[in-house]
Amino acid sequence: MFRPSTFLIDKEIRQKKFANLLSTITFFLFLPALIIIFWLFIKGYPALSWSFLLDDPSSGMTKGGIFPTIVGTFWLVIISVIVSCPLGVLAAIYLSEYAPDNKMTRLIRLAILNLAGVPSIVHALFGLGAFVLFMNMGTSILAASFTLAVMNLPVIITSTLESLKAVPHSFREAAWNVGASKLQTIRYIVLPNSYPGILTGLVFSVGRSAGETAAILFTGVAFYLPFLPQSVFDQCMALSMHLFTISTQVVGVPESYPFATALVLIMLILSVNSVAVVLRTYFRTKRKW
Amino acid sequence: MKKKIQVKDLTVSYGQQDVIQNLNLDIYQNEVLAIIGPANSGKSSLLRSLNRMTDFIPNAKVTGTILLDGENIYDDEDSTFLRRRIGMVSPLPVGLPMTIKENVTFAPRMAGCNDEKELDSIMEDCLKKAALWDEVKDRLHTLATKLSGGQQQRLTIARALSHHPEVLCLDEFSIAIDPVTTMKIEAVLHELKKNLTIIMVTNVISQAKRLGDRTAMMLNGKILDLDVNERIFGDQVNDSRTKDYIHGVFG
């Protein structure tokens, strides 16, 4: 009969211990997210109602709802994604598939990495200078969205670049070999296999845009507006900004209001994320290698 | 006999390293040219320069001319059309992550064919030629990446035939395939020879002997010997190293 030596038994035990350690760590990472949502729900519960979601703020933001801020955040996020997604994906395609490996390309890559590290308040000042003043957009939804788009570009470029790189080179060669042009290969082979990665970058940027306060502060978001934005050249209110305002700038706001606002913001981001997760799973199961 | 491909003074280098040096080679219409030789002797690079896959290797440099039907293939800016005329089967099977049908009809679709009936007939024809039809005819809409290695290799062959090439280059097509299937495909190649020119890189010397009309022995980027099979395998060679290689006493 084969009997495991003490070495083998030890190995087995170590293996189990390590696996337990990893699962514990993972659990503790998961915990903060759970606690935050739970806590927000408990504290914000008294304010939660349909009228909170669908009414305008009133009585100096101490009563009423948060409807205009949801509308504002929605516009900011949508427009910034519409601007940054095509730009970012195209730039990544160029860098991954076309750009020769020379000093210039490396410089561009470095610039992208550095852009990712720029604090959002600096992006705000850039947006103020470039979009609001120089391009004469005024403080508007458009200027704020463009600022968010610039802020999100490096995230989208980097994640797209990674997912393009993850498509095996042999796929490209196989397509070239049968006479597909470079563009066709990208369109029919490379891109369809990188959708999951591109989506991940997109989700990150949506989350960042929705939660961002500093970058939109000078460029297009108002503390309080008595009307909904009529066009992209109007200012708007935003959830993140509103949260800041009612937590620190206004007296007499019910305690539950900021919590409920934060909960709405997080739920919005989570729902966008889950749509992306579903899409990603769909693409993954459709194309597998 | 008509010369299909004329290679003149071909030099291919990657960076500083020359992998093919001043190579001259004529390939006749409807012949099977087998290329043998040890690893790293430039066999695959020769094939790659024939369909200009070298365009996609960043530091590759090709000088000299390659004439296909008398026209220099390096004259055109765009090499896409050239690759439709030259089929290429790579040594490692690549099933593109799409269905079997989409794989085989990929080339015609990229060439602009949208007619479902025509695509279906091309698919059936190519899969039959690659000895794969019987195994996959009931699951043409499953993912090609789920096929076994050998099946994927035959799929690659079917794909290479799908754009009706005039020249078929096979780089070690049989390394992932069992002997029985290899024989099936060899029989097919024998049949295809009537309409195609076939260039075949192989490490299996008996395969070169069976299939080739002529055999070239390559070493260090040069052709040591090139002659009809009767002479090459009848020990009537110019270079003793060819004889040694064939008899397995090389190096």
What DSSP assignment string belongs to B135-151?
Answer: HHTT-TTSBGGGS-HHH
Two tokens, residue A41: 């729900």
Among B58, B156, B162, select the one facing A101 at the smallest CB separation. Answer: B58
Q: Do A173 and B53 touch (CB under 8 A)?
A: yes
Determine the Cα–Cα distance for residues B219 and B177; give it in Å rounded to an integer. 26
- pTM beyond 0.90: the answer is no
What is the predicted pLDDT for the residue at B175? 83
Assess contact for A135 and A147: CB atoms under 8 A: no
Query: Does the pLDDT value for residue A188 go beyond 70?
Result: yes
Two tokens, residue A82: 């519409």
Q: Is A120 exposed, middle or buried (0-12, 13-18, 19+ CB in 10 A)?
A: middle
Judging contacts by C-beta atoms under 8 Å, the chain B residues touching residue A171 are 94, 96-97
Mean pLDDT of B205-214: 89
Q: Do B53 and A175 touch (CB under 8 A)?
A: no
Q: Is B8 exposed, middle or buried (0-12, 13-18, 19+ CB in 10 A)?
A: middle
Bridge partners (DSSP) of residue B222 are B219
Cα angle A274, A280, A285; round to 5? 130
Block residue for tokens 């030629």: B129
Residues of B with CB under 8 A from a CB of A: 51, 53, 56, 58, 78, 80-81, 83-84, 87-88, 90, 92, 94-98, 106-107, 110-111, 143, 145, 156, 159-160, 162-163
Determine the Cα–Cα distance for residues A221 and A69; give it in Å rounded to an integer. 10
What is the predicted pLDDT for the residue at B33? 93
What is the predicted pLDDT for the residue at A1? 62
pLDDT digits (tens, 9 = 90+) for A8-22: 888 888 999 999 999
**Nearest-CA residue of chain B relative to A97?**
B56
Among B92, B96, B145, select the one facing A189 at the smallest CB separation. Answer: B96
**Nearest-CA residue of chain B relative to A191?**
B97
The helix (H) or strand (E) run that includes residue B133 is: helix B133-136
The 3-state secondary structure of B206-233, one letter per residue: HHHHHHCCEEEEEECCEEEEEEEHHHHC
Beta pairing, strands B60-68 & B32-36: unpaired
Q: Tell me the pLDDT band of A107, cut-offs 50, 70 and 90.
A: very high
Torsion of CA B101, B104, B110, B114, to 10 degrees: -50
Q: Do A179 and B111 touch (CB under 8 A)?
A: yes
Among A100, A179, A289, select the one facing B84 at the smallest CB separation. Answer: A179
Q: Do B107 and A289 touch (CB under 8 A)?
A: no
User: How many Cβ contacts (< 8 angstroms) between chains A and B?
Assistant: 71
Rg (CA), chain B: 18
With a pLDDT cut of 90, the percent of chain B lying above it is: 33
Query: Does the pLDDT value for residue B251 go beyond 60?
Result: no
pLDDT digits (tens, 9 = 90+) for B155-179: 998 999 999 999 999 998 888 788 8
**Ramachandran bin of A202, using left for φ above 0, alpha for ψ from -120 to 50, beta for the remaining angles:** alpha
Determine the Cα–Cα distance for residues B217 and B221; give it in Å rounded to an integer. 10
Residues of A with CB under 8 A from a CB of B: 100-101, 170-181, 184, 188-189, 193, 287-289
Q: Do B80 and A180 touch (CB under 8 A)?
A: yes
Query: Does the pLDDT value for residue A221 go beyond 70?
Result: yes
Task: Select from A205, A217, A218, A186 the least CA-distant residue to A83.
Answer: A205
> Which strands make up the sheet holding B86-89, listed edge to edge?
B86-89, B167-171, B197-201, B32-36, B214-219, B222-228
What backbone torsions phi and psi does residue B114 show, to the nearest 5 degrees? -115, -5
Determine the Cα–Cα distance for residues B114 and B102; give it in Å rounded to an integer. 12
Task: Select from B207, B212, B205, B244 the least CA-distant residue to B229.
Answer: B212
Assess contact for B26 and B199: CB atoms under 8 A: no
Q: Tell me the pLDDT band of B113, cut-offs 50, 70 and 90.
A: confident
Determine the Cα–Cα distance for residues A176 and A238; give it in Å rounded to an integer. 48
| Residue type present at position B237 | V
Q: Do A178 and B83 touch (CB under 8 A)?
A: yes
DSSP B6-67: EEEEEEEEETTEEEEEEEEEEEETT-EEEEE--TTSSHHHHHHHHTTGGGGSTTEEEEEEEE
Block residue for tokens 């915990």: A31
State the smallest CA–CA distance between residue A92 and chain B in angstroms: 18
Assess contact for B143 and B99: CB atoms under 8 A: yes
State the smallest CA–CA distance between residue A14 and chain B in angstroms: 36
Q: Tell me the pLDDT band of A187, cut-offs 50, 70 and 90.
A: very high
Judging contacts by C-beta atoms under 8 Å, the chain B residues touching residue A193 are 97
Q: Tell me the pLDDT band of B241, cut-offs 50, 70 and 90.
A: confident
Query: Does the pLDDT value for residue A289 go beyond 60?
Result: no
